[in-house]
Amino acid sequence: MRIGIDLGGTKIAAVALDDQGVERARTRAGTPRAYDATLADLADAVAELERAAGPARGVGISLPGVVDPAAGTVRAVNLPWLDGRPFAADLAARCGRCVRIANDGNCFALSEAVDGAAAGCDVVFGVILGTGVGGGLVAGGRILAGANALAGEWGHTPLPWRNEAEDGPAEPCGCGRPGCVETLLCGAGLARLHHRHTGEALDPPEIARRAEAGDPAARATLDRHADALARALAVVVHILDPDAVVIGGGLSHLPGLAGAASARLGRYTLAPAPRTRIVRARHGAESGMRGAAWLWPKDNR
């Protein structure tokens, strides 16, 4: 049995999984705004799950931000009290279990690679589309974080084949650079795209609702968004050539997104009919904590 915890800016969600990935127990609580209190609440969650499901071989933590797994430290905008602290070592001392930590995008990709929509695939790229745009990379069942712990941060690369008439001007990104993939593919980017072509100020759920009802303007917006996604993923295919791209996050529920991006991908890759599958996540919002649990794989590497 292993424990996975999704530590976010507002909530702590934890699950106990057995070797078959079957959930044995779960718990949820709010995230405190201080370091010691966070450690205490995480240790309490581990103890509660172990009372319900038995001793864990290890604890995995999924969180937003840049993670240095070797040092066990984190740099997270939404969890600033963790910055620079020996978080993994301190939590291990509190709960009496070995602790591994990873970025939430990587945990998402790992969850979907182990027993999700990309189960059985060797190279899996996970895409998170929501308030921001993130991702993660798994090969051979293991996360590849990279030398700088930045593997998968494709949202902060330039949008390729930008067409200002269709995409609009390069918007400033939260990272400080203009024209990143995130600025068009995130929720606010989708809303800007629709407003640019229609003059209507609608949020993504309303755009999706209208598209499903047959509104041609909303459908055109989703087509433009899917085309931008295909362009951005073409670069990923040329560098990593994954077996599967799994889409998660709030925008993964846009009607027809995975299929539309898949249909367009060959326009931008050297392979006119790429074998890379683009699919929606199986575990959805559960992927963070499930992927954290799978930081302790069946062979306990």
Per-residue pLDDT of the chain (301 residues; tens, 9 = 90+): 999 999 998 999 999 999 999 999 999 999 999 999 999 999 999 999 999 999 999 999 999 888 887 788 898 878 999 998 999 999 999 999 999 999 999 999 999 999 999 999 999 999 999 999 999 999 999 999 999 889 999 999 999 999 999 999 999 998 899 999 999 999 999 999 999 999 999 999 999 999 999 999 999 999 999 999 999 999 999 999 999 999 999 999 999 999 999 999 999 999 999 999 999 999 999 999 999 999 998 765 5
Nearest CA to 192 among 206, 181, 204, 180?
Answer: 204
CATH: 1.10.1060.10, 3.40.50.720, 3.30.300.20, 3.30.420.40. Which one for 2-102? 3.30.420.40
Single-letter code of the amino acid located at 138: V
- pTM (predicted TM-score): 0.94
Tell the CATH topology of 117-281: Nucleotidyltransferase; domain 5 (3.30.420)
Q: Angle formed by the axes of helices 87-95 and 35-53, to 10°?
A: 50
Residue partners of 177: CB distance under 8 A and separation at least 6: 156
Instruction: Determine the Cα–Cα distance for residues 255 and 210; give it in Å rounded to an integer.
Output: 10
> Which residues of the chain form CATH 3.30.420.40?
2-102, 117-281
